[in-house]
């Protein structure tokens, strides 16, 4: 008599999504009441309705829409990324090679794009981002068997641009206030507007990545043979829309330093300030841990043959990051030191990864830890952006961010070679490295606090 073993595919309960949605909604809906009782009143009517003010809600809405569009493009290629490689017969060895090429391009070319962005203008670099996605979309549409070397190279450079260009563009545009409204717009209020933009960027990015998954699944449908190239059509249309929107409004003209002045300013304000070195180290450690997580999260869940519905866990993690971003305005208006918040968040992340690396757990526990990890990410990203506004000159912001990611990309390149080709390290060891990096990031924030807070300066007058 045969024995039938029933198998089930684990998936998160619908109550998880309801909890994330209502928690985010509750935090957002109650925050105005908290702010009305604790925040000082500011007469902002003189500039809030100014049609050409970069700090007006008009530009913020325009920027967030473009940023959401860019986030959808970033996520659209990853929905069927690995499956698409398998569909076209790409081996695991070639898949590792593609990843090495991507991080190698981000290391050797992407690290310099931030410097180029500061020299030629941030809006032009954002335009290049959409052009790169347009090239990949057209390439995959016209080629019957597209070369993934070309596509992976373009997408890696686009991801490098995405990591700094939109943030630097937003900061520079927010700082451009004409003389008519400059009298009414004090530094504190400008910082409040930027803080709001930072956490909204994280919130909308996470929501857009979920939206890209919906678009990708809808375009492919049930017929993989006919629909596997459908996301390329959507990406091409979205890239054209982004190029059109970028070209029509907000010319983004600003004072651009010459190469000589830029090199001198970079040496004085970036390379010569240890506080910026600490901030860059923390940024690199976070980037490294996020990259390791997204490489290993699926293999960790399906270890030992466990069956998991990854398509539902992915939006759960991004929803947790949205929830973390909604906590940011509460902490800022609670008069807590930014460095203290970051130190605690980094320590929590490091402890979570340490537990994951050394303890075999049930899938539900793992997903909970993954979600808490992303709650911390949603909180950390706007906090780091806020510190960059305090310490980094606007004219050098893109170069600082791109250079700070170079050590992380080098570390990822190294561990991928060791794991993918030489098999000298295990997945758990990679997670340990990520946890150690987060502990280092927490130490950097603690030392940064001890160094003392640098007063805000008008960096645009370098």
> pLDDT tens digits, residue range 257-295?
777 888 888 888 888 889 999 999 999 999 999 999 999
Domain presence at residue 389: yes
Percent of the chain with pLDDT over 90: 46
Domain presence at residue 104: yes
> pLDDT tens digits, residue range 90-136?
787 888 888 888 999 999 999 999 999 999 988 899 999 999 999 99
Domain presence at residue 161: yes
Confidence (pLDDT) at 155 = 92
Whether 4 shows a pLDDT value over 70: the answer reads no
Residue 321 buriedness (CB in 10 A; 0-12 / 13-18 / 19+)? buried
> pLDDT tens digits, residue range 328-348?
988 887 778 899 999 999 999
- Domain CATH code at residue 270: 1.20.1250.20
Confidence (pLDDT) at 188 = 55
The mean pLDDT value of the chain amounts to 83
Domain presence at residue 153: yes
Print the domain residue range for 275. 57-456
> pLDDT tens digits, residue range 13-61?
788 888 888 888 888 887 776 666 555 444 444 344 443 344 467 888 8
Confidence (pLDDT) at 461 = 43
Confidence (pLDDT) at 292 = 95
Domain presence at residue 172: yes
What integer is the mean pLDDT of 168-174? 89
Domain presence at residue 46: no
Q: pTM for this one?
A: 0.89
What integer is the mean pLDDT of 369-389? 95
Distant-in-sequence, close-in-space partners of 417: CB < 8 Å, separation ≥ 6:
100
Q: Considering its fold, how many domains does the chain have in total?
A: 1
Residue owning tokens 């979570």: 352
Confidence (pLDDT) at 459 = 43
Confidence (pLDDT) at 45 = 44
Contact 298, 310 (CB under 8 A): yes
Confidence (pLDDT) at 301 = 87
What integer is the mean pLDDT of 77-93? 77
> pLDDT tens digits, residue range 225-265?
666 778 888 999 999 999 999 887 655 555 667 778 888 88
Confidence (pLDDT) at 226 = 61
What integer is the mean pLDDT of 337-365? 91
Residue 175 buriedness (CB in 10 A; 0-12 / 13-18 / 19+)? middle
Confidence (pLDDT) at 267 = 86
Confidence (pLDDT) at 43 = 45
Domain presence at residue 70: yes
3-state secondary structure of 120: helix
- What value, to the nearest 5°, has the Cα angle with vertex 195 and ends 168 and 57? 80
């Amino acid at each position: 008599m045969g024995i039938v073993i029933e198998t089930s595919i684990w998936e998160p309960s619908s109550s998880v999504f309801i909890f994330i949605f209502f928690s985010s909604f509750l935090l957002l809906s109650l925050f105005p009441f908290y702010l009305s009782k604790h925040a000082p009143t500011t007469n902002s009517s003189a500039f809030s309705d100014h049609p050409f003010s970069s700090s007006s809600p008009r530009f913020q809405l325009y920027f967030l829409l473009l940023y959401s569009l860019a986030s959808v493009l970033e996520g659209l290629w990853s929905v069927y990324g690995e499956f698409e490689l398998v569909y076209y017969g790409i081996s695991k060895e070639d898949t590792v090679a593609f990843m090495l090429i991507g991080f190698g391009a981000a290391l050797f070319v992407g690290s310099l794009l931030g410097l180029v962005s500061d020299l030629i203008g941030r809006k032009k670099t954002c335009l290049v981002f959409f052009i790169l996605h347009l090239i990949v979309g057209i390439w995959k549409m016209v080629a019957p068997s597209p070369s993934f070397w070309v596509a992976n190279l373009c997408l890696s450079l686009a991801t490098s641009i995405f990591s700094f260009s939109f943030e630097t563009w937003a900061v520079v545009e927010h700082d451009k206030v004409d003389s008519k409204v400059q009298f009414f717009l004090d530094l504190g209020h400008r910082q409040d507007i930027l803080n709001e933009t930072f956490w909204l960027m994280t919130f909308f990015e996470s929501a857009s990545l979920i939206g890209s998954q919906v678009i990708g699944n809808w375009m492919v449908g049930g017929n993989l043979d006919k629909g596997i190239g459908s996301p390329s059509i959507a990406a091409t249309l979205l890239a054209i829309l982004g190029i059109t929107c970028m070209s029509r409004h907000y010319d983004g003209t600003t004072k651009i330093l010459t190469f000589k002045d830029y090199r001198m300013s970079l040496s004085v304000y970036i390379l010569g300030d240890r506080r910026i070195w600490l901030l860059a180290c923390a940024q690199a450690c976070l980037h490294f841990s996020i990259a390791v997580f997204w490489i290993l999260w699926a293999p960790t869940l399906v270890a030992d043959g466990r069956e998991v519905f990854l398509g539902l866990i992915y939006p759960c993690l991004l929803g947790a990051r949205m929830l973390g971003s909604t906590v940011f305005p509460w902490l800022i208006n609670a008069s807590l030191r930014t460095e203290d918040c970051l130190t605690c968040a980094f320590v929590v992340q490091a402890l979570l990864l340490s537990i994951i690396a050394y303890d075999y757990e049930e899938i539900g526990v793992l997903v909970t830890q993954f979600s808490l990890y992303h709650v911390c990410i949603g909180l950390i990203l706007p906090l780091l952006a806020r510190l960059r506004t305090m310490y980094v000159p606007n004219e050098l912001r893109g170069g600082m961010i791109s250079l700070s990611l170079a050590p992380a990309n080098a570390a990822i390149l190294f561990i991928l070679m060791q794991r993918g080709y030489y098999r000298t390290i295990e997945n758990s060891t990679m997670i340990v490295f990520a946890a150690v990096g987060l502990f280092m990031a927490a130490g950097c924030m603690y030392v940064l606090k001890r160094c003392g807070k640098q007063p805000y300066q008008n960096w645009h007058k370098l």
